Structure 1
Amino acid sequence: MNKSVIARGAVALAFAIPAFAFVQPAGATPVDAAKSSVSATFKQMGVPVDGAFRKFTGDVSYDPAKPAEAKARIDIDISGFDIGDPEYNKEVLKKEWFNAAQYPKASFVTTAVKPAGAGKFDATGTLTIKGKTQTLTVPVTVAPAAGANVFSGALPIKRLAYDIGEGDWKDTGMVADEVVIKFKLAVPAGK
């Protein structure tokens, strides 16, 4: 199997997970996964590679009148990472990359939300991938759309901070350390 393709899948998966995991707050509304998306973009040998997380769940508690009280949790099922090829998808689940057998989920749980202007806020929380947890802040935009609040954003992370790509894969000449996780989460409004 081509190592470059394997690297692409692993990097994308590692970084798509962190942007969308939030804490399950009391009175929270489930994310509508059918109308939502989580993806990761990384560079392999300087070329951008995209991957999508096809399995995730989440709960969000959000009142537009009180954005600082928002809380959320998103959990990503690592086995749902898709970089477009079943063989590569299996490869990124191995120990050197996501070690999905031992760490089947990645999560992001909010700990604080700070308003950042009309329809914008910064969500601080913990991102856990492959047993490693880091505190980070995600810039988020929220907009109403067809009976839902849609939360979107992009978050750059470092794959090596989560041990994504062990052994020879730590070399950032083949697969860049930076991964950008993009998300769009639709949450039914008024529930």
Structure 2
Amino acid sequence: MTPRLPCFTAWVAALVVGALPCAQAAEYTQVNETASTISFTYKQFSSRVYGTFSKFKATLDFNTAAPSAAHAALTIQLNSIDAGSSDANDELQKPAWFDTAKYPEATFESTGVKVLGDNRYVITGKLTLRGVTQVVEVPVLLKAENAIGIFEGQLKLKRSDFKIGEGEWADTAVSDVINIKFKMVAPQQ
């Protein structure tokens, strides 16, 4: 007769080989845009300014069993900007800044995913803003909470790379570096 393993030992063995639900892969394909956020900070005359974009559409195809095959896309409605005041919001719509009459959206399309371990990834993709496309690398952390995936990331952009803030604004009154943070929330499928 084969000796029986104690329950704890069997549970540990099952966890190691992936037989328990908590060790299984998770798939995320829908973004809850209401629960998700995109924000940014920059400096103007050495004061820190905080803002958000409230209208965006995100798509996601991410499986933790095959993260290298993941795909993500994002379209931001630039006129949904809130930089803290109606004057700032109006100014940022003008041709020297986002020129939303000509370029109403910013888009990001992923081209690859690098796995770093510990639920950390670098998503490479093409960011298009004001008709200029740049390849960017976005560090992302995936937090899984109660069958919900929370993808958090941040990156730094130079506004001069996208010709944002031209003319009188090209000087140092507004920092060239813009810090962007996002949180994309997706239910597990």
Query: TM-score, normalization: structure 2?
Result: 0.83
Match of 1:59 in 2: 59
Aligned equivalents of 2:111, 2:84: Cα separation in 1: 34
Aligned equivalents of 1:163, 1:131: Cα separation in 2: 9
Match of 2:148 in 1: 148
SS of alignment partner, residue 90 of structure 1: helix
What are the equivalent positions in structure 2 for 1:111-122 lying under 5 Å apart? 111-122=111-122
- Quick check: which has more Rg, 1 or 2? 2
Q: Quick one: which amino acid aligns to residue 46 of structure 1?
A: S
Aligned equivalents of 1:98, 1:30: Cα separation in 2: 28
Aligned equivalents of 2:115, 2:135: Cα separation in 1: 18
Aligned equivalents of 1:89, 1:137: Cα separation in 2: 28
SS of alignment partner, residue 176 of structure 1: coil
Match of 2:188 in 1: 189
Q: Quick one: which amino acid aligns to residue 147 of structure 1?
A: A
2:100 matches 1:100 = yes
Aligned equivalents of 1:51, 1:164: Cα separation in 2: 16
Match of 2:76 in 1: 76
Q: Quick one: which amino acid aligns to residue 74 of structure 2?
A: I
SS of alignment partner, residue 34 of structure 1: coil
Query: TM-score, normalization: structure 1?
Result: 0.82
SS of alignment partner, residue 40 of structure 1: strand
CA contact (8 A) 1:142 1:150 kept: yes
1:145 CA drift (Å) = 2.1
Aligned equivalents of 2:163, 2:178: Cα separation in 1: 13
Match of 1:179 in 2: 178
CA contact (8 A) 2:106 2:128 kept: yes
Q: Quick one: which amino acid aligns to residue 42 of structure 2?
A: F
Match of 2:159 in 1: 159
Aligned equivalents of 2:58, 2:28: Cα separation in 1: 9
2:89 matches 1:89 = yes
Deviations 1:37-72 (A, max 9, x none): 000110111221110001111000000111111100
| Structure 1 unaligned spans of 5+ | 1-26
Aligned equivalents of 2:156, 2:88: Cα separation in 1: 23
Match of 2:39 in 1: 39
SS of alignment partner, residue 91 of structure 1: helix
CA contact (8 A) 1:28 1:59 kept: no
SS of alignment partner, residue 175 of structure 1: coil
Match of 1:13 in 2: none
CA contact (8 A) 1:119 1:143 kept: yes
CA contact (8 A) 2:28 2:149 kept: no
Q: Which has the higher contact order (CA 8 A, sep 6+)?
A: 1
The percent of aligned pairs where both chains have the same amino acid is 37
1:30 CA drift (Å) = 3.1
Q: Quick one: which amino acid aligns to residue 92 of structure 2?
A: V
1:127 CA drift (Å) = 0.4
Q: Pick closer, same or farther for the CA change 1:28–1:151 going to 2, 3 Å.
A: closer
In the comparison of the two structures, how many residue pairs are matched? Answer: 163
